[in-house]
Structure 1
Amino acid sequence: MQKRRTRTVSVAALEPGTGKSAVVLGLVDVLARRAGRTAFLRPVVAATDPPDPDIELVRHHFKLPQGHAASFALTAAELHSPRDALLSRVMEAWAALAAESDVVVVEGSDMTSSPASEVDLDASIAVHLESPVLLVVGGRDRTGPAVLDAVRRDVTALVDRGCELLGVVCNRVDPDQVDAVRDGLPTASGGLPGGVLPELPLLAAPTVAEIAETLGAARVAGDPATAREIERVIVGAMGLPHFLDRIREADLVITPGDRADLVAGTLAAHLSGAYPAVAGLVLTGGSVDPAVRRLANGLGAAGVPVLSVAGDTYDTVSAVGRVRAALRPGGDRKIAAALQLFDTAVDHEALARRLAVARPTRTTPLMFEQRLLDRARADRRHIVLPEGDDDRILAAADQLLHRGVVDLTLLGPEADIKARASALGLALPGAHILDPATSPWRADFARAYADLRRHRGVGLPMALDLMADGTYFGTMMVRQGAADGMVSGATHTTAHTIRPAFEVIRTAPGVSLVSSAFLMCLPDQVVVYADCAVVPNPDADQLAEIALSAADTATMFAIEPRVAMLSYSTGESGTGADVDLVRDATARVRARRPDLPVAGPIQFDAAVDPGVARTKLPDSDVAGRATVFVFPDLNTGNNTYKAVQRAGGAVAVGPVLQGLAQPVNDLSRGASVHDIVTTVAITAIQAQA
């Protein structure tokens, strides 16, 4: 077993229903930012099929390299073995994860079968792993004094079993009781760190997919997997006019399968935008009238899932009430809400100090991405998103706003954006929505644009037409100070995104060229690749400009710039026009920035491998340890970053446009919600600089 270098922390609850998963998610998030390579272990899972939901949640959200089988030691069916044998299995599983990690988070049992024996096993595991325990105490349906009584009881139970307590988190506490519980915790007198998380209805709300799975429902129309959380159940039994007056946002409508009037009316009301957006419909009785089925499929554009169950309405309502909601992979809205709740309610700085977690010298992709969000959040900027009608943009905006990363303006017709967000179950707290076509700023922006482009023959009528376009309008918002930066490209081409920026924002002082860089998140460090997206065949002066901008980009994101000017030859060994161009560009970089470590021409292997560097450029302070890689042309750069991304498993963040006076960034049209969140955070950091 390896030397005890890896930190381990256990999360335990001594009763079911505490919301432990949300606390685990928040703790892993904090440690991933601070501690480096993070692993996750559940000593005991209910079974191997289906996979444990908490393991899958943490693995997928934090992109952990470990497989599901490596993430647990035992199943519930194996707990009859002798205690020593069980502990040995857990220690083996922990050691395998610890060998490749800086910190291991261990989540205890769910206390659903034999709580007393599960508490004993969790405590024994924590003691044998020398792992302090973060205790989670449930507050649901308890008064403040009752929560504090439970804290005292559970703390005593763990201490009596020899556990070291890291802290106490009370979760799912009545919001009216939060202050009283916080004041009564051991944390209040400077003792154990922790916090009090109020009950958040969103986290306890089941999704339509969970309802469908639990009830074994058949799909009639729509896709339950893409549906939102349910906030209330309503039974459709009365006439349609009275029923429509009673529906609310995110209702689950349960009605007999022969009520064509209610099905058609509910879906039509949803499509109209004049009524609240329901989450789904469940048709009871097992038999769906053919007319109802045709209506449901015909109105499928409503985006509302329609399910069928065999039970009657009463039994179905009762069964829905027993469905247990869970945090699951892909539940981005719930995950963002849980992380924000933990971040604001728990003293995670005190937890990290008590764990003696030091920031590692290496930077993992996860750490880098988390630090981007932290930096953006620390000095919030206002970013405009022109593609307010895109589902990915709306989902990313919801996450960014829930986590307080930036302030946002979404462009597009307000009614359309709100209706689509409502259908997706997105709250968009605090979002500004502007329609360029009707905004009072349109005329002012058009006059300013016409003045800027008069030398190109642009008059006011053309400028007015252009300002109805979201990208042009958003760019002018940045130019005129109504926003600090813009992110576009989810549905627009790169040219459509960056052309307005070239026209009206232009380059920063002292910079003559707009180029791009990718932040390449390798397994143990982050480096910069440039230019991989904008300048096809730079001359020597342009290549030097790209190198200087890339070095500034590296510095902006806390990467010490050591610049490698890449070529097919290293040092003075090669000749030819391509090598001479890189050699000339390197000389220009040195002339303009004598303080900047730069090597060129240099081959990629000499730039990254210390052994090769000692042979080819033994006296270089860049060779073997480069952090900024400048490619000789766009063809080489674009292919290289994609090869490293796909074959090497790197995370490519970008492209980041560099050289503009104000930040505008382009998305790939295949961008994921995660890509959009990261790009917005990068844009905010550029705006801070």
Structure 2
Amino acid sequence: MKTLFVAPTRNAVGLTSTALGLARALERRGVRVAFFKPIAQTHETGTDDSVHFARTLLHASIPDPVPLDSAEEQLSRGQLEQLMEDVIALSRQAAQPAGSPQADVLVVEGLALGDRNGYAGSLNADLARNLEADVVLVTSLAGVTPAALADELEIVAQAYRRSDGSGLAGYMLNFVPRELDFGGLLAELRTRSRVLSSGELPLLGVIAQNAQLAEVRTLDVARYLGAELLNEGEAGLRRVTSTVVSARSVPKLAHLLTSGALVVTPGDREDVVMAASLAHQSGVPLAGLLFTSGSAPEDSIEKLCRAALTSTLPVLRVNTNSYDTASRLSRMESRVPHDDSERMERMLDYIADRVDVQLIGAKMGMGSGMTGGVPTLSAGDHERRLPPSAFRYELVQRARAANKRIVLPEGDEPRTVQAAIRCVERGIARCVLLASPDKVKAIAEGQGLTLPAALEIIDPESVRPRYVAPLVELRKSKGLSAPMAEAQLEDNVVLGTMMLSLGEVDGLVSGAVHTTANTVRPALQLIKTAPGASLVSSVFFMLMPEQVLVYGDAAINPNPNAEELADIAIQSADSALAFGITPRVAMLSYSTGESGAGEDVEKVKAATRLVQTRRPDLMVDGPLQYDAASVMSVGQQKAPGSAVAGRATVFIFPDLNTGNTTYKAVQRSAGVVAVGPMLQGLRKPVNDLSRGALVDDIVYTIALTAIQATQMESK
């Protein structure tokens, strides 16, 4: 096992987010990562920030750190060695929790440097040495010149360098201005510092400033100011991007009432209150309305604006005047609250995108390899357990490489518009929205979004006529006439499917407002099944806390017979393999092995035998109950000697009722992201969405579709 110790060079360099982002970057590459905070950062009795987010977002099973009070007491008594023994014992627990395999890499976060812990720098060096760790230094350009930064890195590196010259993995540079001449900066740093010019301390990542990552929620503002929540609305969801103080007349500040604006005003500024209410009613998602000086609008104004003031718009009140309130807001710290996992998740992904993991691997003497076309670290010969972050990362990288054109028939659906914007901005796919351009623009503006120039919007009314003849030709055996074709093409899903059939796009994603039948029926009629496929089935990629599992079929086939169930299992196993998941196929039933009997059990037994005959290369077992398939201790008891029991990655349900109910129960009860359903067995990729799909669900389904298109082309 390798250990990385993440240490700051000075105060306020973004230590926690960088340490967690580094762990996320390693995890993405399929490395088994553990996280550890040896000593609590503060004297607070609650959970340490980094420990909380490691447990919540990295799903790491880690012990509590040594309380800061205890550590300081031991240091004051000269008991450094005892403290180190306590830390090492905890590190072993973190690296290998009970019943789990040992981690490949243990990421350790040191103490942040502050005004009252002058001992932290030397203690961090002792911790790194005792943990036999390679050190990643975290620094920033905030408040220092390049010359001062070079000196700082040179001095701090000496504290962590081992006697044999090893011990330095590299450094991360945070809070870099976007307009910086980066080449000039690196040249100046290397000229001034030997440890940088020699390559002993390589640059592992550059984290540019990003205002979006500092956006607090309206709820955080309320807590910070001790504000009274007159109307909570979406205070826990809306984020503050700007503060508008009502010092001017409404015509002079109306242009500032934009998405994310927090309007600070006395309640007796009726003109401002009405303007903010009108902006909200017009669809502008303001961060909130904050009344100062303990005031409130007159009853007549409150009644006039009640629809806005009692809706999703957060309304707050403080006793301080507007000037003092604005001054306090300007001093609000950027610490991420424990209940704002969304913001920290974005921060970790942002940092992980900018970490050079391969360089870290080279510095630590770890081998490098390739998994699914994406560079990975290989720190052992164990079978890869693909974690959710690695799955999502590889999904995006492979979709980018595919560069496919994906049509979205529900082009004016708000979630779909937002997903398409994200996909285009991140280079995931070339999205095509089927909708009126004016309507799409209005939806984007209502969400405070800007449509990228590369986002393609096609007005269905302008293109439908040219697909009439091709549709008639495709369906002539069914007696389809031109008027009938015109009527069918009024459905944008049919129109999009025709575009796919003619090769104008590479894939189709629908279902945010349409049923599965509405999405699948045109595909079966116009795209048809792939050669060798006897049916179309589906899988969900379930992003469980520790790994990605495959559920099939939970969307298409109501009651498959044994032959069909075997086909679903083989298709699902191949899909798992195509997306980097080692398939261990569990054929599910209410009975395990020979413990039960009945028609349903016999069907699963027959399907299992068919899979074993047709695909002897697959690890498959059944019938298995879900707990026997997923829990190691239960699997060993109920199906001893099975290569699948307790370790299944592909779960095949006996019917649609069971599959759909289970996936939704797991998704909603456990807070698991379910990507899909991804359809299997078609000649070209068409994928359905749940009508409850989130924007991220749509983004990842578009990425799946782009990758499928590449895979189908290669076949």
Shift of 1:163: 9.0
2:121 equivalent among 114, 119, 122 = 119
Aligned to 1:14: 9
Aligned to 2:527: 505
Query: In structure 2, what residue type is equivalent to 1:339?
Result: D
Q: Is the 8 A contact 1:22 1:339 kept in 2?
A: no
Aligned to 1:311: 320
Aligned to 1:358: 378
Relative to structure 1, the CA distance from residue 211 to residue 395 in structure 2 (aligned partners, 3 Å threshold; closer, same or farther) is farther
2:575 equivalent among 532, 553, 569 = 553
Deviations 1:436-482 (A, max 9, x none): 555x3343345544543455565555555554545444444433444
* Matched position secondary structure for 2:32: coil
Deviations 1:570-618 (A, max 9, x none): 9999998667766765676677x46644768755699888998999998
Aligned to 2:56: 60
Distance 2:223 2:451 in 1: 28
* Matched position secondary structure for 2:40: strand
Query: In structure 2, what residue type is equivalent to 1:105?
Result: V
* Matched position secondary structure for 2:236: helix
Deviations 1:518-554 (A, max 9, x none): 4466787766443333222334543343243234323
Structure 1, unaligned stretches of length 5 or more?
none
Deviations 1:498-517 (A, max 9, x none): 23322322211222310123
Aligned to 1:492: 514
Query: In structure 2, what residue type is equivalent to 1:227?
Result: R
Q: Is the 8 A contact 2:213 2:343 kept in 1?
A: no
Deviations 1:293-341 (A, max 9, x none): 4455422598543332221121112111111224566564774466345
* Matched position secondary structure for 1:73: coil
Query: Are 2:110 and 1:99 aligned?
Result: no
Distance 1:410 1:29 in 2: 33
Relative to structure 1, the CA distance from residue 674 to residue 60 in structure 2 (aligned partners, 3 Å threshold; closer, same or farther) is farther
Relative to structure 1, the CA distance from residue 582 to residue 92 in structure 2 (aligned partners, 3 Å threshold; closer, same or farther) is closer
Distance 1:332 1:509 in 2: 43
Shift of 1:168: 0.8
Distance 2:265 2:391 in 1: 49
1:381 equivalent among 374, 396, 404 = 404
Aligned to 2:680: 658
Q: Is the 8 A contact 1:277 1:423 kept in 2?
A: yes
Query: In structure 1, what residue type is equivalent to 2:108?
Result: V
Structure 2, unaligned stretches of length 5 or more?
367-376
User: Under a length normalisation based on structure 1, what TM-score does the superposition of the two structures give?
Assistant: 0.82
Deviations 1:636-669 (A, max 9, x none): 5556667888999997654332101222223333
Relative to structure 1, the CA distance from residue 551 to residue 269 in structure 2 (aligned partners, 3 Å threshold; closer, same or farther) is closer
Shift of 1:213: 2.2
* Matched position secondary structure for 1:263: helix
Q: Percent identity?
A: 38
Distance 1:685 1:358 in 2: 24
* Matched position secondary structure for 2:244: strand
Query: Are 2:235 and 1:242 aligned?
Result: no
Distance 1:623 1:51 in 2: 36
* Matched position secondary structure for 2:535: coil
Relative to structure 1, the CA distance from residue 40 to residue 177 in structure 2 (aligned partners, 3 Å threshold; closer, same or farther) is farther
Q: CA RMSD in A?
A: 4.3
Aligned to 1:324: 333
- The number of equivalent residue pairs is 674
Structure 1 segment 448-527 matched on structure 2, within 5 A: 448-456=470-478, 459-460=481-482, 463-464=485-486, 466-467=488-489, 469-519=491-541
Relative to structure 1, the CA distance from residue 390 to residue 61 in structure 2 (aligned partners, 3 Å threshold; closer, same or farther) is farther
Aligned to 2:169: 166
Relative to structure 1, the CA distance from residue 460 to residue 109 in structure 2 (aligned partners, 3 Å threshold; closer, same or farther) is farther
2:689 equivalent among 667, 674, 677 = 667
Aligned to 1:259: 269
Distance 2:605 2:466 in 1: 48
Shift of 1:96: 2.2
Query: In structure 2, what residue type is equivalent to 1:169?
Result: M
Relative to structure 1, the CA distance from residue 599 to residue 150 in structure 2 (aligned partners, 3 Å threshold; closer, same or farther) is closer
Distance 2:615 2:215 in 1: 60
Distance 2:648 2:238 in 1: 47
2:238 equivalent among 198, 215, 227 = 227
Relative to structure 1, the CA distance from residue 160 to residue 216 in structure 2 (aligned partners, 3 Å threshold; closer, same or farther) is farther
